[in-house]
């Protein structure tokens, strides 16, 4: 059995564009729907991409951020992104496997 990599090995899905807004609170910038408030098992359905190279580094120094999720809001269909730590990515993989 092969070991899982410590970090995701690459970007996938919808990538961050210059017109996509960053959300430090995991909240849709248009309608204020909040990804964090969703049940853990439902969160993956809104993730439409992952980038190992966000446009700028996270300002959170206590936790190492490994990349960024791109989220599509189920209310207004706006796409936005935010930095994520490894534990968030691991939970995503758990609920999608």
Instruction: Dump pLDDT digits (tens) for 16-70.
Output: 999 999 998 999 999 999 999 998 889 999 999 999 999 888 878 788 889 999 9
Higher pLDDT, 63 or 72: 72
pTM of the complete model = 0.85
Cα–Cα dist 89/44, whole Å: 10
Cα–Cα dist 57/40, whole Å: 25
Cα–Cα dist 18/3, whole Å: 35
Task: Give the per-residue pLDDT at 97.
Answer: 78
What's 87's DSSP letter?
A: H
């Amino acid at each position: 059995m092969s070991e899982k990599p410590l970090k995701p090995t690459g970007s996938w899905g919808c990538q961050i564009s210059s017109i996509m807004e960053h959300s430090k609170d995991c909240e849709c910038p248009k309608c204020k729907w909040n990804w964090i408030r969703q049940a853990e098992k439902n969160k993956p359905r809104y993730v439409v991409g992952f980038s190992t190279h966000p446009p700028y580094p996270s300002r959170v120094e206590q936790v190492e951020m490994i990349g960024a999720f791109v989220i599509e809001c189920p209310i207004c269909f706006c796409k936005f992104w935010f930095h994520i730590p490894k534990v968030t990515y691991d939970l995503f993989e758990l609920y999608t496997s």
